[in-house]
């Protein structure tokens, strides 16, 4: 566990707050921690090596085909990887853009922070202190080492922690988010915790894949994605219901499905394929799966 000394400006636990649960609290969480501690696919690292921002999510936006060059270009694969990384950083920028007007005195929480790319971007954008939580000790160590390399370790920190029971002071966070990490938890428990740590008027944002209630049930493609990542994708309706039950009032619900398809179609042509690309592409195309952004205020 993190044993660093906290200052008065940090998110600190009090006797009335939810307890800090060290690491996985259930066998399933233990499975997820082991999954990400042992994750060795090169895609996230090779994309992050482009500029040092290491993400664990996907991309949005139109592909800049001019930047890709031609298949005969000896640098074509390198250019393709750079373009995929540009699209995933554009996704993070979109999420951060929905967090509102934040500044240096604010504290932000990234629930399911991965290797910390979004935390670094949030600090660079707002100057704020950013706290991240992840079940993976490997990811937390990577994120903290990267923060030290950038000289921002006093402002950006990841810790091994259950996002459903964080050590953070009630009402302290000005904003919080999940970027493609909500499918690993119960939504009611998750939004109850975000509601607890957010100040009244604070902003919560998530970008996530969800199955479309109009389809009826999760499609075979969604089931393949669940099996691949050992997760449990929720329906769009579940998000809105769980937010309403936990004092989070949506201010924006944006369907990003058309914006994320170009990323997947491009990735399917690269050397970084993992075997799950077809399921994402087919699920988005047949309407059974959606990629959405939801921004909500704590009331």
Residue for token pair 């044993």: 3
What's the Cα-to-Cα distance from 22 to each of 29, 30, 133, 135, rounded to whole Å? 12, 11, 11, 9
**Is 42 a residue whose pLDDT tops 90?**
no
Q: What is the pLDDT, as a whole number, of residue 205?
A: 98
Name the nearest CA neighbour of 139 among 183, 96, 181: 181
CA-CA distance, 250 to 243, in Å (whole number)? 8
Q: Could you give the C-alpha distances from 201 to 100, 172, 209, in angstroms and in order?
A: 11, 11, 26
Return mean pLDDT, the chain.
91
The angle at the Cα of 266, spanning 259 to 95, to the nearest 5 degrees, equals: 35
CA angle 82, 267, 186 (to 5 degrees): 105
Asked if pLDDT for residue 29 goes beyond 70, the answer is yes
- Sheet holding 107-111: strands in order across? 156-160, 129-134, 107-111, 173-179, 198-211, 289-298, 248-255
Sorting pLDDT into bands at 50, 70 and 90, what band is 24?
Answer: low
Q: What is the CA radius of gyration of the chain?
A: 19
pLDDT in tens, 215-240: 999 999 999 999 999 999 999 999 99
What confidence score (pLDDT) does residue 88 get? 96
Assign 99 a pLDDT band (cuts: 50, 70, 90).
Answer: very high
Beta bridge partners of 158: 132
CA 93 – CA 88 distance, rounded (Å): 9
Residue 86 near residue 80 (C-beta atoms within 8 A): no
> What pLDDT, on a 0 to 100 scale, did the predictor assign at position 72?
77
Q: How many CB atoms lie within 10 A of CB 177?
A: 25
Provide the 3-class DSSP secondary structure of residue 179.
strand
pLDDT tier for residue 23 given thresholds of 50, 70 and 90: low
What is the pLDDT averaged over residues 231-260?
A: 98
Percent above pLDDT 70 for the chain: 92
- Please count the helices (runs of H) and the strands (runs of E) in the chain: 11, 7
45 pLDDT tier (thresholds 50, 70, 90):
confident
Mean pLDDT of 194-216: 97
What's the whole-number mean pLDDT along residues 32-41?
A: 85
CB atoms within 10 A of CB 43: 17
């Amino acid at each position: 566990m993190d044993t660093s000394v906290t200052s008065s400006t940090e998110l600190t636990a009090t006797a009335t707050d939810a307890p800090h649960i060290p690491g996985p609290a259930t066998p399933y969480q233990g499975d997820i921690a082991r999954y990400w501690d042992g994750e060795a696919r090169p895609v996230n690292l090779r994309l992050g090596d482009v500029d040092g921002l290491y993400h664990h999510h996907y991309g949005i936006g139109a592909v800049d085909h001019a930047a890709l060059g031609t298949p005969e270009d000896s640098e074509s694969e390198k250019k393709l990887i750079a373009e995929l990384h540009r699209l995933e950083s554009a996704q993070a920028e979109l999420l951060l853009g929905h967090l509102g007007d934040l500044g240096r005195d604010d504290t932000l929480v990234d629930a399911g922070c991965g290797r910390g790319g979004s935390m670094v971007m949030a600090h660079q954008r707002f100057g704020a202190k950013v706290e991240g939580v992840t079940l993976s000790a490997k990811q937390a160590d990577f994120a903290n080492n990267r923060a030290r390399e950038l000289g921002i370790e006093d402002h950006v920190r990841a810790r091994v922690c259950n996002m459903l029971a964080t050590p953070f002071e009630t009402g302290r966070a000005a904003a919080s988010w999940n970027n493609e990490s909500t499918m690993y938890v119960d939504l009611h428990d998750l939004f109850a915790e975000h509601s607890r740590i957010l100040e009244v008027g604070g902003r919560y944002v998530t970008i996530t894949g969800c199955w479309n209630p109009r389809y009826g049930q999760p499609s075979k493609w969604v089931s393949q994605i669940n099996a691949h990542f050992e997760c449990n994708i929720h329906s769009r309706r579940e998000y809105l219901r769980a937010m309403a039950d936990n004092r989070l009032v949506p201010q924006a619900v944006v369907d990003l499905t058309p914006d994320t398809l170009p990323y997947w179609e491009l990735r399917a042509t690269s050397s970084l394929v993992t075997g799950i690309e077809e399921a994402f592409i087919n699920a988005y195309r047949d309407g059974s799966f959606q990629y959405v952004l939801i921004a909500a205020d704590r009331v």
